[in-house]
Structures are given as structure tokens and as C-alpha cells.
Amino acid sequence: MSSGNTAKIETVPTAAPLGAASEHLFRTFARVDLAFERGEGAWLEGSDGRRYLDFGAGIAVNALGHSHPHLVAALQEQAAKVWHVSNLYRIPDGEKLADRLTAASFADRVFFTNSGAEALEAAIKTARHYQYAEGRPERFRIITFEGAFHGRTLATIAAGGQEKYLEGFGPKVEGFDQVPFGDLAAAEKAIGPETAAILVEPIQGEGGIRPAPAGFLKGLRALCEKHGLLLVYDEVQCGMGRTGKLFAYEWPGVAPDILATAKGIGAGFPLGACLATDAASASMTPGTHGTTFGGNPLAMAVGNAVLDVVLAPGFLDQVVDTGLLLKQRLASVVDSHSRVFELVRGEGLMLGLKARPPAGEVMAALRAEGLLSVAAGDNVVRLLPPLTIGEAELSAAIERIEAAAVRVEAALDAAARPAEGAS
Ligand SMILES: *Cc1c(COP(=O)(O)O)cnc(C)c1O
């Protein structure tokens, strides 16, 4: 395995202390009191003067790690030419990126966005508009699955169906029917005369790295054929090489009609895309949908540079190999620290460790050992390293995870001991 863009940062200059956090940001995030000055490969330099191994990758975004030379060059070169022109004009790099994405997938057409939620909005609108244009305007409802996450816009919180994201924001956007993930019979039962489409993550990310059970996507495809529905995948997190295929649906070989992707596609530059077949997108003609920023020259330059790397011969094979090795080594960590970890699951470099104590405590221990991770539902600690990690980073991560497990075990032991001096 080659180590790719993973050069270690050997010396860390003394970082400037962060000071008190500003009072002038919305309080929407409970942020860790840590900032990063720079990064290289899988490593980040913290404001606390420590080096962190980044197995969160900005929530599955930094697919090629930090400061990848090919991406830095592409962005700098484009920045000196033209940043933004609007979609009133042709954007040659966008046409090129659409050609490449469609050549490498089921899709015929692409709509570029700035985020995952916007890619989902485009996907939802495209699915509804398809039915409308087919003379079935009553079909606007979309079946989604429990544990799903599709974004934070009004429509995507309704699609995700999680009460904690819906509460307080007025009437839930109409037209989403949720059934248990993996339950084909429930999905079929939910289909009615107003159903337009089925929307599913091939691997649930925020829901806790939960892969669709074997045969599930194939079953949904069959339901869509039988009932005249469109199959829509949310590959915002599991797409763009994360599982070792460009798109996760390639594993079972079940293509959708529409697919939303984002996160890794820009590797840190805000970029998303809605991909669709010609048939599904035929009615999306001038005036039906739009975006000011989506697909601008900066984003398109970076998107093409990301694909240069991800589609290079052997790159995805290496993601598969690294993912298998990491999963194997995590399985033995789970075995030897069964009080801390229950199981490991996921595909490629989209892995989750289901914790026994609260996942937040495990993540704090990981961070204390210099490893960054991301929380997910079902008490899972997500490990989403850059796709470029090599064996050195993998071994360094395993060492840190074991050390964190020992830390958590010590805390559990201390909590179990009767307090000294207590009678
Ligand atoms: C992150 C995510 C989204 C939302 O993407 P944003 O860029 O935050 O809008 C949607 N779906 C899935 C599966 C995601 O992981």
C-alpha cells in the first residue's frame, strides 16, 4: 500500500492560545474548544500545539486529506482566472465534470449545488416533477426510512423524519412517509396512489453507519418498477469513493433513477450534485430549478481535480484494501476491549464503532489520544479518514484507539469502585 498524500508534520510551532469564544455566532453548534491552523494529509495541527490524526475528515468531506498538492494547485490556478460567472453562461469545467460523472455512473445529467441538502432538494423536486410531467401530478409523496438523514432544510428535515430536528419549526413539509430501514414489506405497504418515489441512503451515515441489508436496494428497485416510482439514493456521505466504489450502489449493482451526492465530491470545497437519468430529468427544463452559486468555476476546478485522483487507476482498489485492513484491526480492538466497544460495521473507509458507554465519552478519550472522530446515531463513533491514508496512519490510529479504550476502561473501573472513605 502506498502512503499517498500522508506526509507527517514532524514539528509543531507553539500555537497561539485560542482565547474565549466569540458571543456572536448562532449557538447552533456545541463546538470543541479547539481550532486548526493547518493540515497535511491525515494530520491536523491543533491550537493546543498537538498533532491530531483526522479520522473525521470534516465529516467525510476531506476525501483526499488536507493540503493535497493537486487540489491546492487546481484551486489556486482557477482563483487567478475567474471565480464566478453565474449559470447564465456556459462553464466549460462544469460540462467536463458532468461528462466525467455521468461516464462513471448510471446517470445522464447532473445539476451542481453547494451542499448535500441542496442536492437532495434538487433530487426531491426532480422526482416530483417527473411524475407531474408524466401526467400524474397527484404523485408527490416520497417514502423514506427511519434513521435517515437528508439535511437541514425544511424539506430535508421532513424527509429525515427525526423529531429532534423538526420540533419548533412549524408544520412538517407535507409528502414524506417513513418506514423502518430494511423493511421491504413496510415500504410496499406505504405505497399509495400519491407516491412518487422512494428515497434511501445505501449506507446510513448519521444514523450510525448502518448498511442497507442484503437484497434491500434490489427489492426497492423492484417495487419502483412495479408501481411506477423513481428510486432516489442519498449518497451524500457514502458516495465519491468512501466505500471503495465511486458510488456505494455499485456494490449490490442496483442503479437508481436519481442520486444526490456532496461531502467528498469537493474534498473541502462546498460542492454537491444531483445526478439523474435522462428519463427522470427530462422535464427539468429552463425555469424549473436554479442556483446562483452552484457549479461555479472555483467549485468545478476542484471537483475535476478530485476526480483526477479518485478515478486514477488503482485508487479505489486501495480504498477497499485499506478499509478491509482497518475493519479487521478494529474487529480485534473490539474483541480485546469488549467493555468499550460492541461491534464494528461499515464498508470501505466508512466505518462505525458501536460503543457501550456513551459515544461522546469514547470520542473525548480518542481526542485525548490525538485522534479525531465523529459521533453518529445508535451510539456509534464514526471513523471516516481521508481516502488517502496509508498503513502508517492506520497503525497510528489503531494505537490511539487502543489507548483510548484503556482510558475508558480505567474510568469505568474508577466509577465502579466505592468512593474512598465512604462507609
Ligand atoms: C451530510 C448529509 C446531508 C446534508 O448535507 P449538507 O451538505 O450538510 O447539506 C444529506 N444526506 C446525508 C446522507 C448526509 O450525510
Query: Of 268, 247, 234, whose CA–CA distance to 120 is shortest?
Result: 234
CA-nearest residue for atom 10, ligand 1, is 150
Would you call 263 a catalytic residue per the annotation?
Answer: yes
Please state which architecture CATH assigns to domain 36-67+314-422: Alpha-Beta Complex (3.90)
Examine the residue annotation and report whether 317 is marked as an active-site residue of this protein.
Answer: no
Ligand 1: residues with CB < 6 A are: 115-117, 120, 149-151, 201, 205-206, 234, 236-237, 262-263
Q: How high is the pLDDT of residue 18?
A: 87
- pLDDT tens digits along 164-193: 999 999 999 999 999 999 999 999 999 999
For the chain, the straight-line distance linking the first and the last C-alpha, in angstroms and rounded, comes to 58
Mutate to test the pocket of ligand 1, among 149, 200, 247, 261 (most ligand atoms within 8 A of CB): 149
pLDDT tens-place string over residues 309-324: 999 999 999 999 999 9
Residue 374 pLDDT exceeds 50 = yes
Model confidence pLDDT, tens digit, residues 2-48? 444 444 445 445 556 788 999 999 999 999 999 999 999 999 999 99
For ligand 1, mutation pick of 235, 236, 374 (most atoms within 8 Å of CB):
236
**Residue range(s) in the chain whose domain bears CATH number 3.90.1150.10:** 36-67+314-422
Residue of 149, 181, 269, 315 marked active site: 149
Atom of ligand 1 nearest to the CA of 237: 15
| Domain 71-310 class, CATH top level | alpha beta
- Compute the distance from residue 242 Cα to the ligand 1 centre, in Å: 14
Q: Ligand 1, atom 5: nearest CA belongs to which residue?
A: 116
Centroid of ligand 1 to alpha carbon of 236 (angstroms): 6
* pLDDT at residue 418 is higher than 90: no
Start-end ranges of CATH 3.40.640.10 in the chain?
71-310
Q: Which atom of ligand 1 is nearest to the CA of 235?
A: 13
Cα(119) to ligand 1 centroid in Å equals 9
Q: What is the DSSP string of 138-164?
A: T--EEEEETT----SSHHHHHHH--HH
> Is 149 a catalytic site residue?
yes
Q: Which of 263, 269, 315, 354 is catalytic?
A: 263
